[in-house]
């Protein structure tokens, strides 16, 4: 903007200066005895091309790059129109390169760059057991008793919740449905910082066996309970048990990230259920490693500190329960890393490769253009030599 | 032959216009018209500085900080843009002048030697 104003000022100055030059020249001529009309014409003629001066000055001020850009654009347009086949090839080459890049970048952005859609996603961490018995420590699922001990002891995490994905059979809504869902600890939603849009979240004591509550997704409500005015309080037959809907999560909420997105959330009471009285429920087995754990760091705690604490706690648990916990440790990683995890590197690799594809497309295009210009040049040379050969005969 | 007088004009060497302009401003500030008149008069009408080269050159010199321009009212009550040499311009002029003198001396030497060979 300031540049534009400076330019306008500069142009006005030049105009005025040219006028002043002409005035002086005319005055001189009148002094020498010419009539004002003669003087004006002569002075202007002597002065030369006013436009040319302005153009040269404009060049110097550096406006022309922009104007030249427009001229180039016009030229390109004409050139492209003259060679439609070349244009199609060029456009296709570039379109493919750019399209691949856009698609790949969209994925990378959605997966790697966009934060998790939860409150303070930076403070969300994944807590995992580590199996130390293999050559390289392998992340593993957590057993419910271990999780409960962590939750009771932790000083670094302000909340810690468990979950496992699963599939559930829902009957009583017309045809039986098989839907994706999750069995979660009652505090999962509060840990993530997401509340249901209608109804309530789970109460803490609803992890205990015998409680029969379920939270559904907005998508599930819309698809299967469309005609029910208020689904909260409705009974749903899930895996043959009657559960009461207590809440509906907001649309788009999906945790754990599984495919298909979970539509039902049941409490741990589901896994505490046994078919026979003599069975030990999964939630009572310290050796049953079946849940994933998400934690929320205290504001002043780093991932490293939480990691150190979990390692320490797990060392204690390994000593206390060697049968189930020997050779096991624990680790804390940012939740985003845990989700994206191993996918990050291949994704960036793919992105890099499509960038290369675009570069190759550009190189190809440049080759094509070089080839074209040399062909045109040869043609022109041939035409020219034809003229040269022909001219003596004409002469 | 009756050739118009301007046919005798010599095309200015690249870069010499700046030198001529700066030299004109060495003693007294002047406007563009005055500079062109003075160059023409002092070269006995051989060098005529085209306005199309003069003004761009003046503006370039101004941007380089070798001259400074100011609108003034002439003694004939006309508004003119008067150029002055800046200290930097003065230094630049000294340098360019000695370069030019070396060049013209060298040219003269070369040309004169050829002449003496011919005779």
Q: Are residues A22 and A152 in the same domain?
A: no
Q: How confident is the model over A192-231, as pLDDT tens digits? A: 999 999 999 999 999 888 889 999 999 999 988 887 778 8
Residue A104 lies in a domain: no
Does B59 contact A60 at a Cβ distance shorter than 8 Å?
yes
Neighboring chain A residues of B50 at a CB cutoff of 8 Å: 48
A20, A49, A59 member nearest B31 (Cβ): A20
- Closest C-alpha to A219, from A203, A234, A231, A207: A231
Q: What is the mean pLDDT of chain A?
A: 85
B52, B53, B81 member nearest A17 (Cβ): B81
Distance from CA of B27 to the nearest CA of A (A): 21
B63 φ, ψ (degrees, to nearest 5): -65, -35
Per-residue pLDDT, A8: 78
Per-residue pLDDT, A390: 54
Residue in this structure with the two tokens 């105009």, named with its chain if needed: A15
Q: Are residues A130 and A46 in the same domain?
A: no
Q: Which of A326, A345, A371 is the last residue of a domain?
A: A326
CB pairs under 8 A between A and B: 54
Instruction: Please check whether residue A47 touches B, CB under 8 A.
Output: yes
Neighboring chain B residues of A53 at a CB cutoff of 8 Å: 51-52, 55-56
Residue in this structure with the two tokens 């118009």, named with its chain if needed: B4
Q: Return d(Cα A365, Cα A369) in angstroms, integer.
A: 6
Report the residue count for chain B. Answer: 119
Question: At A68, is the pLDDT very low, low, confident or very high (cuts 50, 70, 90)?
Answer: confident
B52, B74, B78 member nearest A49 (Cβ): B52
- Closest C-alpha to A173, from A263, A99, A298, A108: A263
Residue A23 lies in a domain: yes
Residue A336 lies in a domain: no
Does B51 contact A48 at a Cβ distance shorter than 8 Å?
yes
Q: Return d(Cα B34, Cα A264) in angstroms, integer.
A: 92
Does B79 contact A20 at a Cβ distance shorter than 8 Å?
yes
Per-residue pLDDT, A154: 93
Q: Which of A279, A295, A326 is the last residue of a domain?
A: A326
Axis crossing angle, helix A36-47 with helix A2-31, rounded to the nearest 10: 130
Distance from CA of B100 to the nearest CA of A (A): 25
Per-residue pLDDT, A266: 94
Q: Which of B32, B33, B41, B53 to mutate to test the interface with A (most CBs of A within 10 A)?
A: B33
Q: Which of A301, A326, A351 is the last residue of a domain?
A: A326
Per-residue pLDDT, A380: 67
Residue A278 lies in a domain: yes
Lowest mean pLDDT among A52-61, A64-73, A188-197, A235-244: A52-61
Q: Are residues A225 and A295 in the same domain?
A: yes
Element (H, E) at B53: helix B51-63
Lowest mean pLDDT among A49-53, A79-83, A312-316: A49-53
Give Cβ neighbours of residue A162 (< 8 Å, ≥ 6 apart): A142, A144, A147, A184, A185, A188, A268, A291, A292, A293, A294
Q: Are residues A167 and A288 in the same domain?
A: yes
Looking at chain A, the whole-number percentage of residues with pLDDT higher than 90 is 31
Query: Could you tell me the residue range of the domain that residue A51 belongs to?
Result: 2-66
Residue A387 lies in a domain: no
Residue A384 lies in a domain: no
pTM, rounded to two decimals: 0.52
Is the alpha carbon torsion for B40, B43, B46, B52 positive or negative? negative
Q: Are residues A131 and A251 in the same domain?
A: yes
Split into its structural domains, chain A has a count of 2
Instruction: Please check whether residue A151 touches B, CB under 8 A.
Output: no
Question: At A109, is the pLDDT very low, low, confident or very high (cuts 50, 70, 90)?
Answer: confident
Taking 70 as the threshold, does the pLDDT of residue B116 lie above it? no
Among chain A residues, the shortest Cα distance to B52 is held by A53
Q: How confident is the model over A331-340, as pLDDT tens digits? A: 998 887 777 7
Q: Are residues A169 and A292 in the same domain?
A: yes
Q: Which of A10, A12, A24 to mutate to test the interface with B (most CBs of B within 10 A)?
A: A24
Q: Is A33 left (phi over 0), alpha (psi -120 to 50) or beta?
A: left
Per-residue pLDDT, A386: 61
According to DSSP, the β-strands at A264-267 and A177-184 are: parallel
Residue A84 lies in a domain: no
Question: At A303, is the pLDDT very low, low, confident or very high (cuts 50, 70, 90)?
Answer: very high
Q: Are residues A168 and A309 in the same domain?
A: yes
Contact B18, B61 (CB under 8 A): yes
Q: Are residues A262 and A193 in the same domain?
A: yes
B32, B33, B56 member nearest A56 (Cβ): B56
Give B 17-76 residues with CB within 8 A of chain A. 31-34, 50-53, 55-56, 59-60, 63, 74, 76
Q: Are residues A280 and A212 in the same domain?
A: yes
Q: Are residues A26 and A131 in the same domain?
A: no
Does A16 contact B55 at a Cβ distance shorter than 8 Å?
no
Q: What is the mean pLDDT of chain B?
A: 81
Work out the burial of residue B29: count CB atoms within 10 Å of its CB; fewer than 13 is exposed, 13-18 middle, 19 or more buried.
middle
Q: Return d(Cα B109, Cα B102) in angstroms, integer.
A: 10
Does A60 contact B52 at a Cβ distance shorter than 8 Å?
no
B32-50 average pLDDT score: 85
Q: Are residues A31 and A133 in the same domain?
A: no
Taking 80 as the threshold, does the pLDDT of residue A58 lie above it? no
Does A60 contact B74 at a Cβ distance shorter than 8 Å?
no
Q: Are residues A157 and A281 in the same domain?
A: yes
Residue A270 lies in a domain: yes
Q: Return d(Cα A145, Cα A143) in angstroms, integer.
A: 6
Query: How many beta carbons lie within 10 A of that of residue A49, not counting itself?
Result: 12
């Amino acid at each position: 903007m300031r540049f534009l104003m400076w330019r306008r000022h500069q142009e006005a100055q030049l105009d005025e200066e040219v006028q002043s030059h002409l005035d002086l020249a005319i005055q001189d001529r009148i002094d020498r005895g010419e009539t004002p009309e003669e003087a004006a014409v002569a002075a202007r003629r002597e002065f030369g091309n006013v436009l040319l001066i302005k153009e040269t000055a404009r060049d110097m001020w550096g406006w022309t790059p922009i104007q030249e850009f427009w001229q180039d654009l016009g030229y390109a347009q004409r050139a492209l129109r003259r060679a439609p086949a070349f244009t199609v090839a060029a456009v296709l080459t570039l379109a493919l390169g750019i399209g691949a890049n856009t698609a790949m970048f969209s994925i990378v952005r959605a997966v790697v760059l966009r934060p998790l859609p939860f409150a303070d996603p930076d403070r969300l961490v994944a807590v995992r057991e580590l199996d130390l018995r293999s050559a390289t420590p392998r992340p593993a699922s957590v057993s419910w008793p271990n999780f409960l001990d962590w939750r009771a002891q932790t000083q670094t995490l302000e909340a810690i919740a468990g979950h496992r994905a699963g599939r559930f059979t829902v009957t009583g809504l017309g045809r039986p449905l098989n839907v994706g869902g999750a069995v979660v600890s009652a505090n999962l939603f509060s840990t993530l910082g997401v509340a249901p849009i209608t109804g309530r979240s789970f109460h803490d004591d609803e992890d205990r066996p015998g409680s029969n509550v379920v939270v559904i997704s907005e998508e599930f409500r819309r698809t299967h309970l469309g005609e029910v005015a208020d689904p909260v309080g409705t009974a749903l037959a899930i895996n043959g048990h009657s559960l009461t809907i207590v809440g509906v999560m907001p649309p788009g909420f999906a945790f754990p990230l599984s495919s298909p997105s979970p539509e039902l959330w049941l409490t741990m009471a589901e896994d505490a259920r046994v078919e026979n009285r003599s069975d030990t429920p999964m939630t009572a087995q310290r050796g049953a490693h079946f849940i994933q754990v998400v934690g929320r760091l205290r504001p002043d705690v780093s991932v490293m500190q939480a990691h150190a604490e979990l390692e320490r706690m797990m060392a204690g648990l390994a000593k206390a329960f060697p049968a189930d916990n020997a050779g096991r440790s624990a680790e804390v990683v940012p939740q985003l890393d845990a989700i994206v995890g191993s996918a990050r590197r291949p994704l960036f690799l793919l992105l890099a490769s499509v960038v290369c594809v675009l570069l190759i497309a550009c190189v190809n295009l440049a080759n094509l253009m070089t080839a074209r210009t040399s062909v045109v040049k040869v043609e022109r040379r041939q035409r020219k030599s034809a003229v040269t050969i022909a001219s003596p005969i004409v002469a | 032959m009756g050739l118009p007088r301007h046919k005798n004009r010599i095309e200015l060497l690249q870069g010499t216009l700046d030198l001529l302009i700066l030299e004109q401003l060495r003693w007294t500030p002047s406007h563009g018209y005055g500079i062109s008149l003075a160059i023409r008069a002092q070269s006995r009408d051989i060098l005529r500085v085209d306005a199309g080269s003069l003004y761009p050159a003046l503006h370039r010199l101004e941007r380089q900080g070798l001259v400074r321009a100011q609108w003034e009212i002439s003694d004939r009550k006309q508004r003119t843009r008067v150029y002055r040499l800046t200290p930097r311009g003065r230094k630049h002029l000294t340098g360019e002048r000695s370069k030019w003198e070396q060049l013209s001396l060298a040219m003269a030497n070369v040309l004169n030697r050829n002449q003496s060979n011919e005779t």
